[in-house]
């Protein structure tokens, strides 16, 4: 392709709302354009890369025995009502009506639909296993779309669903997909870590997230520096932190005017944070949940949800909900409180091991000191559970080794769903004894557009993107220093044709711009390899090959260019 | 691929609502499944074919200089309001709100969005021309989805948009795309005719539809048996049919109780249909339109719309609208009527050339006889226009030759849009003199999923589909007569591997079913070539090659299979 024909409009100024590197560079280099909040157009450069990612996904999934299909994006409400998720999905689901006033949604995921699809077709264990996938736009009406392609409202996803006769079959499929995912992300050039994760609203028991390690990631990961243990901190099980035993002092109320955060109280009373307890109040539907952790710990919302067997993710309680259960914001502790139908108290295990700590007195501008949970809480009437977030001060739950934290972009997830959807939607098969059984399902997602963004987050420098060769929009760019110079253009065109015939994905920058502009664009767009054709080197029948990744520049005889390019690309 | 692993569930009974052959065969053979009215899932067989069609589309469009992009499916309402089409699109457009109550639609087409996209990027004539395309789901909320993939609510479309500095540039793009489309449909194996067409709601002046000729087609086409003329009958310009001049008899009212159709009146009065005139009453928004043609002719709605300069397609007038302008349904003629702000009278040219004809008397159960339009209509106060549908009794408007009619499935359309959208949305560029001009646009659509259905409508017999090789889900199926026979399976597998290595897209039917079942499936699914491996022929080291298209069966030495397959595929 010729750069003069390529539709890749670059921007001089960065849009003010580009909040991560991948978005900034993709906007500046003409990869994407924002059409509306969380809605992006992919221009030719980005689309070339997306199609390469899709190609890798297809090859690996086909090799793992999955088959590509395409289901509708528009899904009838009925199947979501059957599974019980029509309401559970809340405002994130985009809903619509047709002209006959039938209800539909734009699929955020396709468990209901695929289960409905296969349940009419698969009747016998002989037809199992089946693994079907599609690559398709998905829709989530994010409250605050951000981070460019990483959290948009319309995004490209590969979703796959497996159906097996039993758990053992599912285990095999899960392993196949786990391995396929490892291959896919490796082939895309990503540094990716599979971590244990929470199954969230989708249900199921066993799941791993594939995390592209990057500062811009929204997920916090904890991993062991000694063994293979790695988990989303949401799921990382913290140990119980014990405090040195002290004589129990008498519970006492102190005035703490305006000190409605635990930090303010600790400062006012000159207490270390671990000698305080803090309260976070959630709600799941109509139930208010008071969560208590030590002042130096953070609440794990997922653990809170599990502790109360919540169907949906907890949200922060509203002021009205606090009032309804008699809580005074900023001054809450479980002392003197009891659970009820509409009110749960969940206390972290480590809180129960504290002595003489400070917490809210359940009235304005006042705190208790010398709280001793085992003495002062209604211990028969609260839930004690590990609800704090694990930190790198904990030890590895598997081997006791030291833990480290990092940030990750979730680019893929594999789930063992079990029979949740097959039971809800009646997808049964007859086993070898002629008895009906629900199919055992797995589901497997890859964020295709997010993978594109994650690659940029991992591979860039101050000048632009540094594409892994496998997903670069073009593998090689040829830059004649001066496109008006016939000799340079002739050599460039010869090399271009030679590389093209050899199957190299190459762009010839035939634009009449100054060399500096073309070099800057090449760096910004991030082609793995640049071939510079200049008078200088041409005198000795050479051109310069420059590797974007490390800046290495090699003068190469024109006759050897093809061989050298192929050799270098192997390493990129 | 192995048939035992292929997810292609066949149906024994035909769903009762399958109304065309393509839908029937695709359902029976496990290509597609209906999820909801007008919403289909593509199973692996169909998806393989779709991807082959997409591949052909991409190759030809890329060769014609277009570049692939991907715009959002969800489109903000604002850009549609800017172009004036938010209301014009009516109930066919699927609309939705996000959580912040912003209005959006699911794109039925992307003129507004692409114009918005490029207008911020292209500023100079130097950046033109540009031609961008995408392959994407499109959405139209059909009142009555039908004909399977041919008129569904969610469908796969390739849409392309070109931007030029002037009409001459557009002409070049148009020709490029016209030729690319001819290549695409030819390579897909379709018998396709480009016909002149109406530009409809999309605007613009010059347009061709690519029609796959098939009985199941919804479009009526007229074409000349002598020259190249071919047109959608909506656009075909009928000549003026003159009647033999007669002495003008006196206008007279006759009673015609209950005869409220022209056929009933003609029968009651023993008149030939051409001696009657009939009325059809339309409405465009609030304007009622009385259209008059001869009793033996049909009204062309598109011509009616043009005759009154309507912005949108005419709909049938409601009983209330008739009452409002004082019309008596079933007994209408223009005699004594006058146009007004809210009421137009459009009379076909051939009606004006009639003598002593019968038409409604504008009161119940009564007709006029001896209407002489030039005498009896308010000729200064009506619109005379060619509003009847052309028929094969007309002569070719180009060469005067004989016309013939056929049915077509619209699989593609190319449009010269001109500056309609660039003006409405402010997409201007600076010309060589530094003056701003609106870009001159073209748009070009291909119904990808409809092309799949059209191929089946064109190529099938009573046993199933007969795929053109280029878009067949598999090119070749190998059927060992008995999959439990090791010798047969060994030979089959050897041939399978040999063909696969040669790049042939081949399926091995390793299922343990009876040969009859496998043959029936092979015919139903429609693989272009079947290789039968049986004890019979194996004795002489041969297998049978059978061509689906013509039933020709050729015994071929195993050593020659690859060469023979490649030779035959060239012809399929």
Strands A428-430 and A219-224: unpaired
Residue in chain B closest to A11 (alpha carbons) equals B121
Instruction: Find, among A11, A44, A116, the residue nearest to A441 by Cα.
Output: A116
Angle at B235 between CA B232 and CA B238, to 5 degrees: 110
pTM of the model: 0.91
Distance CA B410, CA B448 (A): 11
Mean pLDDT of B310-327: 90
pLDDT recorded at residue A204: 45
Question: Which of A70, A162, A449 best tests the B interface by mutation, with the highest count of B CBs <10 A?
Answer: A70
pLDDT recorded at residue B272: 96
Domain containing A326: what range?
252-385
B116 inside 8 A of chain A by CB = yes
Interface of A with B in 3-42 (CB under 8 A): 5-7, 9, 33, 35-36, 39-42
Residue B12 falls within a domain, yes or no? no
Distance CA A213, CA A406 (A): 7
Top mean pLDDT of A212-221, B176-185, B194-203 is at B176-185
Interchain proximity A41–B69, CB inside 8 Å: yes
A309 inside 8 A of chain B by CB = no
Q: With bands split at pLDDT 50, 70 and 90, how would you rate the model's confidence at B200?
A: low
Interchain proximity A91–B99, CB inside 8 Å: yes
Question: Which of B72, B158, B164 best tests the A interface by mutation, with the highest count of A CBs <10 A?
Answer: B72
Which helix (H) or strand (E) covers residue A507, if one does? strand A506-508
Instruction: Find, among A356, A357, A352, the residue nearest to A374 by Cα.
Output: A352
Residue A314 falls within a domain, yes or no? yes
Interchain proximity B74–A47, CB inside 8 Å: no
Instruction: Please indicate, yes or no, whether residues B221 and B265 belong to a single structural domain of this protein.
Output: no
Q: What is the pLDDT of residues A436-471, one digit of tens each?
A: 999 999 999 999 999 999 999 999 999 999 999 999
Residues in A touching B6 (Cβ below 8 Å): 67
Mean pLDDT of B384-396: 93
Residue A26 falls within a domain, yes or no? yes
Interchain proximity A39–B67, CB inside 8 Å: no
Nearest by CB to B121, which of A9, A117, A132? Answer: A9
Q: Which residue has the tokens 């709909």?
A: B315
Q: Phi/psi at B383 (nearest 5 deg)? A: -105, 125
Residue B350 falls within a domain, yes or no? yes
Peptide bond into A129 cis (omega under 30): yes
Residue B99 falls within a domain, yes or no? no
Instruction: Please indicate, yes or no, whether residues A169 and A52 belong to a single structural domain of this protein.
Output: yes
Token pair for B433: 């003199």
Question: Which of A6, A116, A121, A133 best tests the B interface by mutation, with the highest count of B CBs <10 A?
Answer: A121
Residue A399 falls within a domain, yes or no? no
Q: In angstroms, what separates the C-alpha of B99 from chain A's closest C-alpha?
A: 6
CATH number at residue A485: 3.40.50.800
Mean pLDDT of A413-418: 94
Residue B181 falls within a domain, yes or no? yes
Instruction: Please indicate, yes or no, whether residues B435 and B363 belong to a single structural domain of this protein.
Output: no
Distance CA A338, CA B64 (A): 74
Distance CA B111, CA B153 (A): 19
Nearest by CB to A73, which of B117, B122, B154? Answer: B154
Instruction: Please indicate, yes or no, whether residues B431 and B338 belong to a single structural domain of this protein.
Output: no
Mean pLDDT of A376-391: 94
Nearest by CB to B113, which of A35, A74, A104? Answer: A35
Angle at B411 between CA B410 and CA B413, to 5 degrees: 80
Instruction: Please indicate, yes or no, whether residues A85 and A223 belong to a single structural domain of this protein.
Output: yes
Per the CB < 8 A criterion, the answer to whether A144 and B68 are in contact is no
Distance CA A295, CA A317 (A): 20
pLDDT recorded at residue B404: 94
Per the CB < 8 A criterion, the answer to whether A341 and A288 are in contact is no
Strand order, beta sheet including B506-508: B506-508, B476-480, B529-533, B542-547, B553-557
Residues in A touching B102 (Cβ below 8 Å): 36
Q: How far is CA B310 from CA B286, B301, B302, B306, in A?
A: 11, 11, 9, 6
User: B385, B413, B448 — which closes off a domain?
Assistant: B385
Instruction: Please indicate, yes or no, whether residues A428 and A524 belong to a single structural domain of this protein.
Output: no
Instruction: Please indicate, yes or no, whether residues A139 and A212 belong to a single structural domain of this protein.
Output: yes
Mean pLDDT of B79-99: 93
Q: In angstroms, what separates the C-alpha of B70 from chain A's closest C-alpha?
A: 5
pLDDT recorded at residue A236: 85
Q: With bands split at pLDDT 50, 70 and 90, how would you rate the model's confidence at B205?
A: low
Q: How far is CA B397 from CA A269, B113, B231, B235, B239, in A?
A: 98, 38, 10, 11, 7
Instruction: Please indicate, yes or no, whether residues A224 and A342 belong to a single structural domain of this protein.
Output: no
Phi-psi region of A406 (alpha: psi -120 to 50; beta: other; left: phi over 0): beta
Residue in chain A closest to B119 (alpha carbons) equals A9
Q: Which residues contact A289 (CB under 8 A, 6 or more apart)?
A: A281, A282, A283, A304, A308, A310, A314, A317, A343, A344, A345, A346
Mean pLDDT of B386-406: 92
What is the average pLDDT value for chain A, to the nearest integer?
Answer: 94
Mean pLDDT of A76-87: 94
Instruction: Please indicate, yes or no, whether residues B162 and B267 belong to a single structural domain of this protein.
Output: no
Sign of CA dihedral B74, B78, B79, B85: positive
Sign of CA dihedral A149, A154, A160, A163: positive
Instruction: Find, among B447, B442, B444, B446, the residue nearest to B204 by Cα.
Output: B442
pLDDT recorded at residue A228: 87
Q: In angstroms, what separates the C-alpha of A138 from chain B's closest C-alpha?
A: 10
Instruction: Please indicate, yes or no, whether residues A32 and A148 belong to a single structural domain of this protein.
Output: yes
Residues in A touching B74 (Cβ below 8 Å): 36, 39, 94, 106, 139, 153-154
Question: Which of B121, B122, B128, B155 best tests the A interface by mutation, with the highest count of A CBs <10 A?
Answer: B121
Interchain proximity B117–A33, CB inside 8 Å: yes
Q: In angstroms, what separates the C-alpha of A59 from chain B's closest C-alpha?
A: 13
Q: Which residue has the tokens 């004589």?
A: A247
User: pLDDT at residue A13 above 90?
Assistant: no
Question: Which of A71, A148, A161 best tests the B interface by mutation, with the highest count of B CBs <10 A?
Answer: A71
Q: What is the pLDDT of residues B498-549, one digit of tens each?
A: 999 999 999 999 999 999 999 999 999 999 999 999 998 899 999 999 999 9
Question: Which of A67, A145, A425 best tests the B interface by mutation, with the highest count of B CBs <10 A?
Answer: A67
Which residues sit opposite A344 in a β-bridge?
Answer: A289
B77 inside 8 A of chain A by CB = no
CATH number at residue B368: 3.90.960.10
pLDDT recorded at residue B493: 97
Nearest by CB to A68, which of B35, B47, B137? Answer: B47
Which of A383-397, B175-189, B442-456, B457-471 is the least confident region?
A: A383-397
CATH number at residue A51: 3.30.930.10
B347 inside 8 A of chain A by CB = no
Residue in chain B closest to A154 (alpha carbons) equals B72
Distance CA B361, CA B205 (A): 39
Residues in B touching A44 (Cβ below 8 Å): 67-69, 132
Residue in chain B closest to A512 (alpha carbons) equals B126
Q: In angstroms, what separates the C-alpha of A235 from chain B's closest C-alpha?
A: 30
Q: Phi/psi at A277 (nearest 5 deg)? A: -125, 145
pLDDT recorded at residue A205: 52
User: A355, A385, A415 — which closes off a domain?
Assistant: A385
CA B550 from centroid of its chain's CA atoms? 29
pLDDT recorded at residue B135: 98
pLDDT recorded at residue B14: 77
Mean pLDDT of A33-49: 97
* CB atoms closer than 10 angstroms to residue A370: 17
B130 inside 8 A of chain A by CB = yes
Q: Which residue has the tokens 């079907």?
A: A132
Interchain proximity B76–A141, CB inside 8 Å: no
Instruction: Please indicate, yes or no, whether residues B198 and B158 belong to a single structural domain of this protein.
Output: yes
Q: In angstroms, what separates the C-alpha of A459 from chain B's closest C-alpha?
A: 23
B144 inside 8 A of chain A by CB = no
Instruction: Please indicate, yes or no, whether residues A61 and A102 belong to a single structural domain of this protein.
Output: yes
Token pair for B60: 């030809």
Residue B87 falls within a domain, yes or no? no
Residues in B touching A99 (Cβ below 8 Å): 91, 141, 143
Percent of chain B with pLDDT over 90: 89
Residues in A touching B44 (Cβ below 8 Å): 67-69, 132
pLDDT recorded at residue A200: 61
Per the CB < 8 A criterion, the answer to whether A41 and B117 are in contact is yes
Interchain proximity B47–A65, CB inside 8 Å: no
Interchain proximity A74–B36, CB inside 8 Å: yes
Nearest by CB to A71, which of B35, B51, B67? Answer: B35
Q: What is the pLDDT of residues A91-129, one digit of tens each?
A: 899 999 999 999 999 999 999 999 999 998 999 999 999
Q: Which residues contact A548 (CB under 8 A, 6 or more apart)?
A: A466, A467, A522, A523, A526, A527, A528, A529, A530
Mean pLDDT of B74-98: 94
Q: What is the pLDDT of residues A518-544, one digit of tens each?
A: 999 999 999 999 999 999 989 999 999
Question: Which of B35, B40, B57 best tests the A interface by mutation, with the highest count of A CBs <10 A?
Answer: B35
Which helix (H) or strand (E) covers residue B406, if one does? strand B403-418
Give SS3 for B274. helix
B143 inside 8 A of chain A by CB = yes
What is the average pLDDT value for chain B, to the nearest integer?
Answer: 94
* CB atoms closer than 10 angstroms to residue B563: 12
Q: With bands split at pLDDT 50, 70 and 90, how would you rate the model's confidence at B383?
A: very high
Instruction: Find, among B566, B434, B567, the residue nearest to B504 by Cα.
Output: B566
Q: In angstroms, what separates the C-alpha of A396 from chain B's closest C-alpha?
A: 41
Orientation of helix A448-458 relative to helix A44-63, angle to 10°: 110
Residues in B touching A132 (Cβ below 8 Å): 7, 44
Q: In angstroms, what separates the C-alpha of A231 from chain B's closest C-alpha?
A: 32
User: pLDDT at residue B204 above 50?
Assistant: no
The tally of domains found in chain A comes to: 3
């Amino acid at each position: 392709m010729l750069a003069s024909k390529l539709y890749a409009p670059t921007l001089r100024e960065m849009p003010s709302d580009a909040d991560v590197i991948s978005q900034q560079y993709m906007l500046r280099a003409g990869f994407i354009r924002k059409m509306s909040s969380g809605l992006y157009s992919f221009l030719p450069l980005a689309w070339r890369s997306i199609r390469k990612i899709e190609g890798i996904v297809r090859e690996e999934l086909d090799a793992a025995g999955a088959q590509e299909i395409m289901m509708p994006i528009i899904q009838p409400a009925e199947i979501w009502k059957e599974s019980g998720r029509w309401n559970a999905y809340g405002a994130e689901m985009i809903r619509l009506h047709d002209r006959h006033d039938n209800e539909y949604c734009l699929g955020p995921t396709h468990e209901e639909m695929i289960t409905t699809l296969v349940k009419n077709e698969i009747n016998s264990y002989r037809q199992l296993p089946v693994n079907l996938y599609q690559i398709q736009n998905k829709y989530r009406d994010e409250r605050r779309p951000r981070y460019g392609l990483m959290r948009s409202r319309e995004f490209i996803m590969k979703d796959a669903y497996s159906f097996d006769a039993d758990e053992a079959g599912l285990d095999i499929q899960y392993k196949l997909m786990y391995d396929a995912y490892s291959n896919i992300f490796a082939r895309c050039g990503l540094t990716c870590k599979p971590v244990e994760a929470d199954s969230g609203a989708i249900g199921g028991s066993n799941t791993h997230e594939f995390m592209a390690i990057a500062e811009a990631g929204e997920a916090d990961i904890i991993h062991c520096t000694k063994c293979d243990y790695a988990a989303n901190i949401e799921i990382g099980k913290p140990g119980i932190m014990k405090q040195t035993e002290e004589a129990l002092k008498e519970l006492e109320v102190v005035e703490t005017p305006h000190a409605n955060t635990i930090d303010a109280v600790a400062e006012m009373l000159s207490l270390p944070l671990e000698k305080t307890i803090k309260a976070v109040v959630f709600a799941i539907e109509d139930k208010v949940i008071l969560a208590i952790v030590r002042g130096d710990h953070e609440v794990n919302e997922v653990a809170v949800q599990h502790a109360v067997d919540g169907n949906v993710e907890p949200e922060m309680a509203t002021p009205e909900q606090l009032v309804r259960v008699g809580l005074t914001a900023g001054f809450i502790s479980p002392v003197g409180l009891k659970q009820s139908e509409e009110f749960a108290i969940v206390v972290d295990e480590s809180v129960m091991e504290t002595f003489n700590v400070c917490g809210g007195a359940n009235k304005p501008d006042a705190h208790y000191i010398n709280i001793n949970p085992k003495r002062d809480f209604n211990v028969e009437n609260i839930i004690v559970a590990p609800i704090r977030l694990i930190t790198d001060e904990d030890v590895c739950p598997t081997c006791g080794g030291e833990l480290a934290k990092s940030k990750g972009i979730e680019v893929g997830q594999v789930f063992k769903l079990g029979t949740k959807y097959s039971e809800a939607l009646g997808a049964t098969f007859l086993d070898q004894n002629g008895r009906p059984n629900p199919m055992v399902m797995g589901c497997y997602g890859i964020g295709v557009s997010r993978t594109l963004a994650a690659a940029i987050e991992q591979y860039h420098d101050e000048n632009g993107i540094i594409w892994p060769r496998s997903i670069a929009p073009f593998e090689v760019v040829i830059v004649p220093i001066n496109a008006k110079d016939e000799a340079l253009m002739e050599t460039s065109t010869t090399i271009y044709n030679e590389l093209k015939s050899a199957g190299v994905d190459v762009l010839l920058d035939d634009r009449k711009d100054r060399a500096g502009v073309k070099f800057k664009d090449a760096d910004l767009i991030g082609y793995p390899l640049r071939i510079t054709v200049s008078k200088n080197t041409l005198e000795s029948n050479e051109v310069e090959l420059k590797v974007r990744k490390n800046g290495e520049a090699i003068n190469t005889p024109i006759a050897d260019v093809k061989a050298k390019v192929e050799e270098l690309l192997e390493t990129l």
